[in-house]
């Protein structure tokens, strides 16, 4: 359960940092009267949807951290046979990274008000994401072709479930991206596009990082990294 | 009770507060069925959850009939018995308590108590309810599926949950249970996002975090915990569904079933237990924290006294929330683990007692020298404290490995968790319904029926669960369909079991009085007015009761003070509403 506890510790640190700025040590029973009526409230400049997305990412992060915990625990049992990673995954990784970069470009474009570039980057991001998903399906096919079927070994099961879950999350993101792209054609005011484009970009960056974490586990790099940290600590 | 004339509380125009864009229902269907108004959604949640509660209550009757009078009711065979306990447990914990506290009270109270017009994502909020309803329907449908519902126990431990010896294990039961749970979690996540973000983003002007009523703090913290803990159940459910439907071996070890080796190997049942309890323990506090919050407000309001140690109450809620994520393995002492882990988890478990005890002391100190009104909400709140302390103390027993090992899997455990997370939160739910019903409907619940409901429920629940501790100490095992033939069981234990069953029937039946009261008072209850309890919090200061769509009329309220200004020296009333700008005091005498 190390990975979920690690993930939750990060959340706990963030939450503590945030709470420490909310006046949790104040004495509300003393604070009243005109002077204290509206005590230096932080201006709520962040849109609720942005906060909503951040909370959702914490939930999704917790979901995958738990899966990774289960993976690590199951891995230690004797019947585990690590499966080889199909090389196409590297191409897929590049596609997902491209998609993420294109969405970053879209946020820059929308801030500058350049609609042509915004449209181009959104479409590029969508195509790259679709390429990633198709590549994942090809990877599945290759593995099945080589005999690494579901149920043959838990390592295979985890690979299919985790890539599947990641792909489903990206698919959900694509729905949002499609709606945003459609909005670019429909809505004349560029400032109204800022929020949805930024939300898409945040979600995409998160899914990219998540994918890199998953990849580092399958390649064994994460395990080596943890071993090095452990040695340093002891 | 004195009605406060509307307008005596200053709803100040606040043009600089950004108002939210409201959706406007156009037809009866969008207003009352597919409604995006949090108050309607709350009522829908509460109605469904209470209905599920009644089903679960009947299931508990059936299982008690078997335990109290074994062999008399022949239709309750071992399979049916296991199905009853499983569905009773799962329904009560997830589909009743969680849904009622967060979906019901959360939806109704959060926007009103923080001075918002609605949740921040009303459409997602509506989806949350309908997905919850779908989950309930899937769960209930499993009663009619081939093989009936699962009888795996509410913890659904593999491998038995998906083998053929368990009811529903190789039929539809377990699949429908897992799918229902997954659907529930998706629906809850949608609601939970709303509860958390609304508290973070939609508070009225002047409503700092430290001015929020403890009810909101409790629901907020619990929602956050649920958002992070439910994925563990989701992950476990996905993996078990794969094991059951596709033949993977996540949890299934090499196993021989009915003399035949199954085509599984290498899986770890312990892995499921870790995932399950990583959800399961926070779940206890997901139910308890809203109850803590609500009970604080009930006690403060009905004792006409500011809550003692508000800051400590908030900190304790947060501390309990955080600690509850590092105690899960205390449910697994007998599953086999490194003794150092046992020591670690026993220690963290006992540490939770500290913030919890702080809360109990603060409730008692709030009552101390208060002007206690023994209204029905107050009676339920007091009963909660007693029951919770009782259940919590046996938790200290069970939290220690050496005490837990002999008591594990006995009726002592059943008594403990029913006291602490069954009866105690239900008492708060009843208290809260009696307290807020006037706001929801504009009418008071009938007092006489309420008193009858309270005394029979409280004393009856004690009569059920207190003797059960003794059964446990005697070694009477839980999860047994029939203990009649066990040589070590004395006749007195059978008599006690019959007594418990009779009490369970009485306590169950009296709930019908409550249900009757809910419907009868809708039309015949005394008119409540806007603020029958003379309470300070914002939900009682709405311009209309029941609050209409948008809650606040033209102007959002502005908050000038904390939620507990009761019996302030020098004030002309014994409470000052949160949105009342006067009187201003320069000293905090009499508070703290």
Q: How far is A100 from chain B (nearest CA, A)?
A: 25
Write out chain A residues lying below 8 Å of B267, CB-based: 74, 77, 154
pLDDT 10s digits, B299-314:
999 999 999 999 999 9
Residue A226 is predicted with a pLDDT of: 85
Closest chain B CA to residue A19: B209
**Interchain CB distance below 8 Å, B120 and A37:** no
* B585 within some domain: yes
pLDDT value of residue A234:
80
Overall average pLDDT of the B258-273 stretch: 87
In a domain, B453, yes or no: yes
Nearest chain A residue to B207 by CA: give it: A38
Q: B210: which chain A residues are within 8 Å (Cβ-Cβ)?
A: 22-24, 26, 28
What is the Cα–Cα distance from B207 to B78, expressed in whole angstroms?
Answer: 55
Give the model's pLDDT for residue A32: 64
pLDDT at A81 over 50: yes
Nearest chain A residue to B193 by CA distance is A52
Q: Which residue of B has its CA nearest to A58?
A: B228
Q: What is the mean pLDDT of residues B160-168?
A: 91
Query: Do the chains contact at A55 and B232, CB–CB below 8 Å?
Result: no
Which of B160-169, B277-286, B576-585 is the least confident region? B576-585
User: What digits encode the pLDDT tens for the residues B323-354?
Assistant: 999 999 999 999 888 888 889 999 999 999 99
Which pLDDT value is given to residue B14?
Answer: 40
| B550 and B573 housed in the same domain | yes
Please name the residue ranges forming H helices in A21-81: 48-75
pLDDT at residue number A38 = 53
**Nearest C-alpha neighbor of A203 from the set A139, A130, A129:** A129
Note the pLDDT of residue B477: 93
User: What is d(CA B38, CA B22) in angstroms, rounded to the nearest whole number?
Assistant: 12
b/e sequence A157-171, b meaning 16+ C-beta within 10 Å: bbbbbbbebbbebbe
The mean predicted confidence, pLDDT, of chain B is 91
Q: Give me Rg for the CA atoms of chain A.
A: 22
Of the candidates A31, A38, A79, the beta carbon closest to that of B265 is on A79
All residues at 6 or more sequence positions from B562 whose CB lies less than 8 Å from its CB, including other chains: A28, A29, A31, A32, B210, B211, B310, B578
Residue tagged 């007692």 (tokens): B353
B533 and B514, same structural domain?
A: no
Nearest to B77 by CA among B65, B91, B87, B88: B65
Contact A62 B228 (CB under 8 A): yes
Summarised one tens digit per residue, pLDDT across range A185-200 is: 998 888 889 999 999 9
Task: Give me the total of CB pairs closer than 8 Å, taking one residue from chain A and one from chain B.
Answer: 152
Task: Please tell me the predicted confidence (pLDDT) of residue A33.
Answer: 53
pLDDT at A34: 45
Q: Which residue has the higher pLDDT, B260 or B426?
A: B426
Q: Do A30 and B588 touch (CB under 8 A)?
A: yes
Percent of chain B residues topping a pLDDT of 70? 94
Q: Do A23 and B586 touch (CB under 8 A)?
A: no
| A120 to chain B, closest Cα gap in Å | 30
Residue among A22, A44, A58 whose CB faces B209 most closely: A22
pLDDT at B148: 94
Which ipTM value was assigned to this complex? Answer: 0.94
Q: Which of A24, A74, A151 sits opposite B210 (nearest CB)?
A: A24
Interchain contact, B247 vs A151, CB within 8 Å: yes
Domain-located, residue B213: no
Q: Using the predicted structure, report yes or no on whether residue B2 has a pLDDT greater than 50.
A: no
- Spatial separation of the C-alpha atoms in residues B380 and B564, rounded to whole Å: 20
When CB atoms are compared, the residue of A46, A49, A157 closest to B248 is A157
Would you place residue B563 in the very low, low, confident or very high pLDDT band (cuts 50, 70, 90)? very high
Judgement on whether residues B468 and B590 belong to the same structural domain of the protein: no
- Residues B517 and B591 occupy one common structural domain: no
pLDDT in the model for residue B584: 59
Locate the chain B residue with the closest alpha carbon to A66: B232
Supply the range of the domain harboring residue B576.
529-592
Please write the tens of the pLDDT for every residue from B345-395. Answer: 999 999 999 999 999 999 999 999 999 999 999 999 999 999 999 999 999
pLDDT tens digit sequence for B422-465? 999 999 999 999 999 999 999 999 999 999 999 999 999 999 99
- B158 pLDDT higher than 60: yes
Lowest-confidence region among B132-136, B381-385, B526-530:
B526-530
Cis peptide before B546 (omega within 30 of 0): yes
In tens, the pLDDT along B109-119 reads 999 999 999 99
pLDDT digits (tens, 9 = 90+) for B91-130: 999 999 999 999 999 999 999 999 999 999 999 999 999 9
Q: How far is CA B453 from the centre of its chain?
A: 19
Predicted TM-score (pTM) of the model is 0.94
Is B507 inside a domain boundary?
yes
DSSP B212-248: S-HHHHHHHHHHHHHHHHHHHHHHHHHHHHHHHHT--
Confidence of residue B266 (pLDDT cuts 50, 70, 90): confident
B390 in the same domain as B490: yes
Q: Which residues of A touch B242 (CB under 8 A)?
A: 157, 161
User: pLDDT tens digit string along A161-188?
Assistant: 999 999 999 999 999 999 999 999 998 8
> What is the per-residue pLDDT for B185?
97
Q: At what angle do helices B269-302 and B339-367 cross, to 10 degrees?
A: 10
Task: Report helix, strand or coil for B149.
Answer: strand
Calpha distance B329→B337 (Å, rounded): 9
> What was the pLDDT predicted at B11?
37
For B5-31, the DSSP string reads PTTSS-----TTSPPPPPP---SHIII
Residue B28 has a CB neighbour count (10 Å cut-off) of 8
Inter-chain contact B266–A62, Cβ cutoff 8 Å? no
Contact B440, B43 (CB under 8 A): yes
Residue B392 CA to residue B386 CA, distance in Å, equals 10
Q: From the CB of residue A17, how many other CB atoms can be counted at a distance below 10 Å? A: 9
Question: Would residue B144 count as lying in a domain?
Answer: no
pLDDT grade for B585, boundaries at 50, 70 and 90? low
- For residue B262, the surrounding DSSP H or E stretch is none
As for how many domains chain B has, the answer is 2
Q: In the predicted model, is pLDDT for residue B15 greater than 80?
A: no
Rounded Cα distance, B577 and B5, in Å:
12
Answer yes or no: do B120 and A66 touch at CB < 8 A.
no
Tokens of B344: 């670690």
**Is A24 close to B209, i.e. CB distance below 8 A?**
yes
For the stretch B491-499, contacts whose Cβ atoms lie closer than 8 Å and that sit 24 or more positions apart, written own/partner, are B496/B467, B496/B470, B496/B471, B497/B67, B497/B68, B497/B471, B498/B68, B498/B69, B499/B68, B499/B463, B499/B467
Q: Do A34 and B581 touch (CB under 8 A)?
A: yes
* C-beta atoms of B561 and A25 within 8 A: no
Partners of B121 on chain A (C-beta within 8 Å) are 48-49, 52
Asked if the Cβ–Cβ distance from B250 to A157 is below 8 Å, we say yes
> What confidence tier does B321 reach under pLDDT thresholds 50, 70, 90?
very high
Is the model's pLDDT at A28 over the cut of 50? yes
pLDDT in the model for residue B22: 61
pLDDT at A86 over 90: yes
Identify whether residues B451 and B381 lie together within a single domain.
yes
Residues B521 and B392 in one domain: yes
Q: Which of B528, B554, B572 is the last residue of a domain?
A: B528
The pLDDT value recorded for residue A40 is 52
- Rounded to whole angstroms, how far apart are CA atoms B588 and B591? 6
B395 found inside a domain: yes
- Measured CA to CA, the distance from residue B333 to residue B270 in angstroms comes to 12
Q: Is the peptide bond before A202 cis (omega within 30 degrees of 0)?
A: no
Q: List CB contacts (< 8 A) between A28 and chain B.
A: 208, 210-211, 310, 561-562
Instruction: Please tell me the predicted confidence (pLDDT) of residue B460.
Output: 97
Q: Alpha carbon B200 to chain centroid distance?
A: 22
| Contact call for B278 and A27, based on CB within 8 A | no
Which residue of chain A has the CA closest to B264? A151
| Interchain proximity A8–B318, CB inside 8 Å | no
Query: A156 vs chain B: nearest CA distance in angstroms?
Result: 10
**CB nearest to B235's CB, from A8, A38, A63:** A63
pLDDT of residue B429: 97
In chain A, % of residues over pLDDT 90? 70
Confidence (pLDDT) at B588: 45
The CATH T-level fold of domain A83-223 is 1.20.120
How confident is residue B69, by pLDDT bands cut at 50, 70 and 90? very high
């Amino acid at each position: 359960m190390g990975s979920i506890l690690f993930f939750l510790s990060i959340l706990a640190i963030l939450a503590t940092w945030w709470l420490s700025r909310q006046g949790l040590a104040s004495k509300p029973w003393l604070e009243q009267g005109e002077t204290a009526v509206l005590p230096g409230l932080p201006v709520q400049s962040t849109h609720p949807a942005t906060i909503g997305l951040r909370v959702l990412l914490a939930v999704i992060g917790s979901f995958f951290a738990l899966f990774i915990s289960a993976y690590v625990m199951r891995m230690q049992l004797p019947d585990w046979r690590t499966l080889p990673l199909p090389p196409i995954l590297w191409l897929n990784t590049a596609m997902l990274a491209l998609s993420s970069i294109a969405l970053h470009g879209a946020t820059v474009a929308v801030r500058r008000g350049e609609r042509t570039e915004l449209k181009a980057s959104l479409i590029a991001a969508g195509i790259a994401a679709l390429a990633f998903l198709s590549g994942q399906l090809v990877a599945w096919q290759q593995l099945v072709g080589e005999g690494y079927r579901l149920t043959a070994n838990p390592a295979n099961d985890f690979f299919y479930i985790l890539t599947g879950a990641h792909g489903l999350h990206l698919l959900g993101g694509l729905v949002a991206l499609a709606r945003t792209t459609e909005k670019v054609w429909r809505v004349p005011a560029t400032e109204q596009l800022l929020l949805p484009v930024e939300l898409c970009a945040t979600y995409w960056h998160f899914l990219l990082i998540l994918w890199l974490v998953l990849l580092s586990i399958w390649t064994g790099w994460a395990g080596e990294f943890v071993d090095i940290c452990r040695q340093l600590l002891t | 009770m004195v009605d406060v004339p509307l307008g005596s509380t200053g709803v100040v125009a606040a043009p600089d507060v950004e108002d939210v864009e409201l959706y406007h229902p156009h037809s009866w269907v969008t207003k009352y069925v597919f409604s995006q108004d949090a108050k309607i959604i709350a009522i829908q949640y509460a109605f469904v959850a209470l209905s599920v509660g009644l089903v679960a209550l009947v299931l508990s009757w059936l299982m008690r009939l078997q335990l109290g009078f074994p062999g008399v009711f022949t239709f309750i065979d071992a399979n049916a018995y296991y199905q009853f306990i499983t569905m009773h447990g799962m329904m009560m914990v997830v589909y009743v308590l969680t849904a009622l506290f967060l979906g019901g009270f959360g939806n109704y109270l959060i926007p009103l108590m923080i001075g918002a017009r609605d949740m921040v994502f009303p459409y997602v909020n509506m989806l949350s309810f309908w997905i919850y309803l779908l989950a309930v329907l899937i769960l209930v449908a499993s009663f009619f599926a081939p093989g009936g519902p699962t009888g795996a126990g509410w913890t659904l431990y593999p491998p038995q949950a998906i083998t053929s010896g368990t009811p529903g294990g190789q039929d539809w039961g377990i699949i429908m249970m897992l799918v229902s749970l997954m659907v529930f979690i998706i629906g809850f996540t949608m609601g939970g996002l709303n509860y958390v973000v609304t508290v973070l983003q939609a508070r009225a002007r002047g409503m700092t975090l430290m001015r929020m009523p403890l009810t909101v703090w409790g629901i907020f913290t619990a929602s956050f915990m649920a958002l992070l803990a439910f994925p563990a159940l989701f992950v476990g459910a996905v993996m078990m569904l794969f094991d059951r439907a596709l033949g993977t071996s996540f949890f299934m070890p090499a196993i021989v079933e009915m003399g035949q080796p199954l085509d599984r190997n290498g899986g770890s049942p312990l892995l499921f237990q870790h995932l399950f309890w990583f959800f399961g323990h926070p779940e206890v506090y997901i139910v308890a924290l809203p109850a803590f919050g609500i009970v604080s407000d009930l006690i403060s309001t009905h004792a006409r006294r500011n809550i003692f140690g508000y800051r400590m109450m908030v900190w304790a809620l947060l501390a309990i929330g955080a600690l509850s994520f590092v105690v899960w393995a205390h449910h697994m002492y007998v599953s086999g683990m490194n003794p150092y882990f046992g020591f670690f988890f026993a220690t963290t478990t006992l540490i939770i007692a500290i913030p919890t005890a702080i809360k109990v002391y603060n409730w008692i100190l709030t009552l101390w020298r208060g002007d206690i009104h023994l209204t029905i909400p107050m009676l339920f709140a007091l009963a909660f404290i007693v029951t919770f302390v009782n259940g919590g103390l046996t938790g200290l027993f069970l939290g220690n490995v050496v005490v837990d090992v002999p008591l594990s899997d006995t009726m002592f455990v059943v008594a403990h968790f029913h006291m602490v997370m069954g009866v105690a939160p239900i008492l708060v739910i009843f208290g809260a319904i009696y307290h807020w019903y006037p706001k929801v409907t504009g009418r008071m619940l009938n007092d006489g029926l309420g008193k009858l409901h309270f005394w029979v429920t409280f004393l009856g629940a004690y009569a059920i669960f207190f003797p059960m501790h003794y059964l446990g100490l005697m070694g009477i095992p839980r999860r047994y369909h029939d203990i009649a033939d066990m040589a070590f069981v004395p006749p007195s234990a059978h008599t006690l079991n019959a007594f418990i069953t009779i009490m369970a029937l009485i306590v169950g039946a009296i709930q019908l009085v409550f249900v009757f009261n809910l419907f009868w008072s809708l039309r015949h209850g005394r008119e409540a007015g806007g603020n029958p309890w003379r309470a300070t919090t914002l939900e009682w200061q709405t311009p209309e009761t029941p609050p209409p769509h948008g809650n606040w009329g033209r102007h959002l309220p502005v908050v000038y003070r904390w939620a507990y200004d009761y019996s302030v020296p020098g004030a002309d009333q014994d409470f000052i509403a949160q949105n009342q700008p006067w009187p201003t005091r320069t000293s905090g005498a009499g508070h703290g």
